[in-house]
Amino acid sequence: MELPALVDSGADMTTFSYGLAKFFGVEPETGLKSEVVGINGKSTTFVHEGFTIHLGGYDIAMRVSFLKTAPPGLGILGREVIFEHFKVTFDDTAKIIELLPSHTA
């Protein structure tokens, strides 16, 4: 399944909307309950370890959080793990974001 996601260099970890947890077969509240602070203030999130996503031809295990206040269907790729596995280039002039595998991918 493909899911559009934003690359957010200001986000620490990868985050999905709360409703997507069940779509992925995860019961969100079995994760570690945590508070995060973002542009909308504090929110409750549930962190799951060892979640695997397929990105750029690679299966990558990572921590992900499921955020109750996120808009439905939202996926945000944060710095943790994504920036370790990919060289991320933001080209504002061309309006593109490029992810190229790094040496650790």
CATH of the domain at 36: 2.40.70.10
Q: Decide if 68 is inside a domain.
A: yes
Determine the structural domain holding residue 72 and report its residue range: 6-77
Q: How many domains does the chain have?
A: 1
Residue 22's pLDDT is 85
Burial (CB count within 10 angstroms: exposed 0-12, middle 13-18, buried 19+), residue 57: exposed
Is the pLDDT reported for residue 65 higher than 80? Answer: yes
Determine contact, residues 77/5, Cβ cutoff 8 Å. yes
Q: How large is the average pLDDT for residues 69-77?
A: 88
Residue 88 lies in a domain: no
Q: What is the pTM of this model?
A: 0.83
